[in-house]
Amino acid sequence: MKKIYIVHAILAAFLFGLSTPFSKLILNHNNSPLLLASLFYLGAALFLLPFKIKNLKNEISQLISHKSDLKRIAGAIIFGGITGPVALLYGIKYSSPESASLLLNMETVATSFFAWFVFKEHLSTKVILSSILTVIAGSLLVINFNLSINYGGALIILACIFWGIDNNLTANVASISPTVNTILKGFFAGSFNFLMFLMFENGLIILNDVFYALIIGAFSYGLSIILYINSARNIGASRSQIIFSINPFLGSIVSFMIFQTMLSMEFVIAFLLMIIGIALLIYEHHHHEHTHHEVNHLHEHSHDDKHHDHFHEGITPGQKHSHQHFHHKITHSHIHYPDIHHKHEH
C-alpha cells in the first residue's frame, strides 16, 4: 500500500479526533450546535482559501463541466457538510465526550457498507477482517461504558451514516483537488447552517467561542478533510476510513485527559485490536492482471504513477495538476487499490 496515504489518513484521524472533546467544552458554554456546525465548516473554508485562490476559478469551471462530479459534490455538501455535523454536535450535546467519541466508530461500518453495497468497491479478506476488528473494538468500549442508544447516541449514529455516504461520494470526485472540494463544502454547508441558526434559533454568540470554533474548523475539519480525501482517492474509501477510524480512540484519550476519566482495561484491549486492524491494511497487497479500457476524462493527477505518462512542458513528474487527458487500452499487473483508475470487477 502507498505508505504516504496511510500517514495522511492517520493525521486526518488525529486532527478530527481532537474535535469531539473540544466541541464538548464549547457546547458546555450553552452555544448552539447548529452555530458550531456552521463555524467549523466556515473555518475550514477560510483556512484553505488562500492556498487555492489562484486556481479556484479554473477548478470550479472544470467541476461545472464535469456533471457527474458536480452531483457528487452536491451530495457531499448535503450529507457531509450540512446534516452530518449538525447531527453529530446535537448528539455530543446530549452525550458524554467519551461516549460520543466511541460511537464515531460507526462511520467505518457505514463507509465500508456503502462502498461495497452501493459503489461496488472490492473488499479483500484482510479489509473485511480489519472492519470486523474495528467493530469489535468499538463494541468493547461501548459495553464497558454500558452505553444505551439514547437520543444523543442515535443522532451520532445518524451522523456516521451521513458521513459514510459523503466519504464514498467524495472519494469518486476526480475533477477538482481535495482542497477546493473542502472549500466548496465548507462555504456552502457553513453558510447554510449559519442561515438556519439565524432563522430558527435565538442563542447567544460568544465571540471567544466563535474564535475557538473557527480554529477547530480550520484544523479538525479543513486540514483533516484534505488529508482524508487525498488518502481515499488513492487507497479507496473503505481502506482509508478504517485507518481514519482510530479518531474515536484518539478523541477518547484526549477526553480522558481533559475530563479526568480513568483508562479501563477494555479501552486498552480495544486500542490493540484497532492497531492490529490497521496493520492488516498496511500489509495488504492487492495484485493481479487487469485491463484498463480507453477513456478520455479529467481529474487531478501527477506523472509519477503507472497510468499518466503524457508530457507537459514545465510539469515535474510528481507535480499535481488537472486537465482533460486520454488513456489507451492497456493490460498489466501491479499492486493497486480501488482508486479512480481501478474500479474493475473481481
The 10s digit of each residue's pLDDT in 132-168 is 887 787 677 656 555 555 677 788 888 999 999 998 8
For residues 216 and 201, the model is more confident at 216
What per-residue confidence (pLDDT) applies to 191?
97
What lies within 8 Å, CB to CB, of 103 at 6+ separation is: 91, 95, 138, 142, 147, 153, 156, 157, 160, 248
For residues 235 and 293, the model is more confident at 235
The 10s digit of each residue's pLDDT in 5-32 is 888 888 999 998 899 999 999 998 888 9
The span from the CA of 198 to the CA of 214, in Å, is 18
CB 35 within 8 A of CB 214: no
The total number of residues written for the chain in this structure:
346
pLDDT more than 90, % of the chain: 29
Assess whether pLDDT exceeds 80 at residue 177. yes
* Dihedral of alpha carbons 224, 213, 22, 20, sign: negative
CB 247 within 8 A of CB 104: yes
Closest by Cα among 299, 292, 284, 298 to 329: 292
Average pLDDT over residues 317-346: 57
What per-residue confidence (pLDDT) applies to 173?
85
Assess whether pLDDT exceeds 70 at residue 305. no
* Residue at grid coordinates 449514529: 157
CB 300 within 8 A of CB 321: yes
Comparing 74-88, 215-229, 234-248, which segment has the lowest mean pLDDT?
A: 234-248
Average pLDDT over residues 179-199: 94
Beta bridge partners of 291: 331
pLDDT more than 70, % of the chain: 73
What per-residue confidence (pLDDT) applies to 327?
66
Average pLDDT over residues 265-271: 77
Comparing 143-157, 165-179, 193-207, 313-327, which segment has the lowest mean pLDDT?
A: 313-327
Closest by Cα among 223, 282, 251, 275 to 4: 282
135 grid coordinates: 467493530
CB 170 within 8 A of CB 114: no
3-state secondary structure of 94: coil
CB 129 within 8 A of CB 280: yes
CB atoms within 10 A of CB 264: 14
Helix or strand (DSSP H, E) at 148: none
Query: What is the SS3 assignment for 161-180?
Result: HHHHHHHHHHHCCCCCCHHH
Average pLDDT over residues 214-224: 93
Average pLDDT over residues 296-325: 62
Assess whether pLDDT exceeds 90 at residue 298. no
For residues 79 and 328, the model is more confident at 79
Average pLDDT, the chain: 80
The 10s digit of each residue's pLDDT in 41-100 is 999 999 999 988 988 999 999 899 888 999 999 999 999 999 999 999 998 998 878 778
Average pLDDT over residues 197-203: 84
Write down the domain spans for the chain: 3-287, 292-335
What per-residue confidence (pLDDT) applies to 301?
60
For residues 279 and 53, the model is more confident at 53
Task: Compute the radius of gyration of the chain from its Cα atoms.
Answer: 20
196 grid coordinates: 438556519
Q: How confident is the model at residue 212 (pLDDT cuts 50, 70, 90)?
A: very high
CB 37 within 8 A of CB 193: yes
The span from the CA of 210 to the CA of 218, in Å, is 12
For residues 253 and 291, the model is more confident at 253
Q: What is the distance in angstroms between the CA of the first residue and the CA of the last residue of the chain?
A: 18
Backbone dihedral region for residue 146 (phi beyond 0: left; psi -120 to 50: alpha; all else: beta): left
